[in-house]
Structure 1
Amino acid sequence: MTLIGRTRARGVETLSLDSTANRNALSAALVGELADALTDCAKDGDVRAVVLTHSGNTFSAGADLRDPPHPDALVDLLRQIVTLPKPVVARVTGHVRAGGLGLLAACDISAACTTASFAFTEVRIGVAPAVISLPLLPRTDPRALARYYLTGERFDATEAARIGLLTVAGDDVDEALAPILDGLRRSAPQGLAETKALLTAKVLKTFDQDAADLTALSARLFASPEAHEGMTAFLERRDPPWVL
């Protein structure tokens, strides 16, 4: 079963998360397939840019709690998006939770429709947005992250754009993306690669400095009794015992 759809139009390769049975949760299999597709795009001289989108009403529900990727694999995927020598553009027409927000932050440009919603839900199951902080902390408003990391509150696309998680939000995401994709198609491959390297230098420093510590933190938290109870409660659709 293929979990990543692939199409191409005028040099833009579209990779679609296509695991709607679990709301495009980041399973070990999906992360592996997406990494392979990105590797193919990096090697293909006919690909000018990559669009990362989704099937169904959810871009990604976060980590697959039944088949989670190893933290190292998620770090590698996020770094691969950041270092891909071609722009990666997120196209969101649904909801994004937890680990899915790390994918958005890793992309060079992110666009969403105004009906999309976002939430960092990790704290509610007893873990923390550790690995996904690698691209998020350098690119997103720190005061806003403090609020949404700590509360797990849902916020809309307008707020996501205000805090730097999105580049643009609009009623019609394809209309919003049209001039962006046109600009990428008009740009030289070398110019795009070198300009992207300038833009991502500080993000990559965060990966180099903090990836090992945040990977260890993620593994420790997911193995803890509190996280086990939180994940069990989530899967059973009930409140965990700490809810007041």
Structure 2
Amino acid sequence: MSQPGPHTPLVTTAFDRGITTLTLDSPSNRNALSAPLVGELADALTACGKDPAVRAVLLTHSGGTFSAGADLKAPPGPYAFVDLLRQIVELPKPVVGLVTGHARAGGLGLLGACDVVLASPDADFALTEVRIGVAPAVISLTLLPKLEPRAAARYYLTGERFGVPEALRMGLVTADAAALDGILDGLRSASPQGLRASKRLVTARVLETFERDAEELVQLSASLFASAEAREGMTAFLERRDPAWRL
């Protein structure tokens, strides 16, 4: 009987001068947030948190999409995704997100959890949940404390795509990807203790939202995904057709 082949990692790891790069590496499904990918990313972050040689984490992607959002065929449990977002926020090392392509839905939640987000000029973003009958519920934990309110309202409600200039203006993106080397050098120059204490200061408001709102948003997400409208929206998406409510 033939033995199964080795598992192909969905998250790959590389280390260079204090920076561990975690690469979402499932380009065949546009790095969709499946239960296995979320689990692998959580394990990799745990290892980074425990390793004294790691000064900071760079979170990036292979292929043309940072993440397309939840994998509708093998989604993670909502509590598992909340735990992953909180893990990024609470990690005692800075996490820098780097987007060189598309980011959609739950992928923006990952970026919201990062301490610094950089994007190449051709990157683009969209909160597409409303178009399949759900809402950006759980990812609001990391996004709403950081986004300009009027911009959040527009893109939550319309699902429109937007580019880097708008992402910079609304607070989703920190700087152009050209700033990466300077930011990583700055992190390498900082003391581990200084980074831990400084990160606690800048993440305090985000963590307050987890304490206050996480359970309510998990329940909202679960109820929306179980609804008839969401079933129609997800079926239409997978069948590449307009949903029944499209005017």
Q: Which band: TM-score by shorter chain?
A: over 0.9
| CA drift at 1:176 | 1.6
Distance 1:139 1:67 in 2: 29
Q: Deviations over 1:22-46 (max 9, x none)?
A: 0000000000000000000000000
2:141 maps to 1:141:
no
Q: Which amino acid aligns with 2:94?
A: P
Where does residue 56 of structure 1 map in the other structure? 63
Q: Which amino acid aligns with 2:205?
A: K
Where does residue 99 of structure 1 map in the other structure? 106
Distance 1:154 1:92 in 2: 15
Where does residue 220 of structure 1 map in the other structure? 223
Q: Which amino acid aligns with 1:39?
A: T
Q: Which amino acid aligns with 1:70?
A: G
Q: Which of 80, 89, 95 is 1:73 aligned to?
A: 80
Where does residue 177 of structure 1 map in the other structure? 180
Where does residue 34 of structure 1 map in the other structure? 41
Runs of 4+ aligned residues of structure 1 deviating over 4 Å after TM superposition are none
2:161 maps to 1:158:
no
Unaligned runs of 5+ in 1: none
Q: Which amino acid aligns with 1:24?
A: N
2:122 maps to 1:115:
yes
Where does residue 206 of structure 1 map in the other structure? 209
Distance 1:117 1:139 in 2: 18
Q: Deviations over 1:216-238 (max 9, x none)?
A: 00011011111000000000000
Distance 1:164 1:97 in 2: 16
Q: What TM-score do the two structures reach when normalised by structure 2? A: 0.96
Distance 1:34 1:227 in 2: 27
Where does residue 136 of structure 2 map in the other structure? 129
Distance 1:16 1:166 in 2: 18
Structural RMSD (CA):
0.5
| CA drift at 1:158 | 1.1
Where does residue 242 of structure 2 map in the other structure? 239
**3-state secondary structure, aligned to 1:166:** coil
Q: Deviations over 1:88-126 (max 9, x none)?
A: 000110100000000000000000001011000000000
Q: Which of 67, 73, 92 is 1:85 aligned to?
A: 92
Between the aligned residues of both structures, percent identity stands at 68
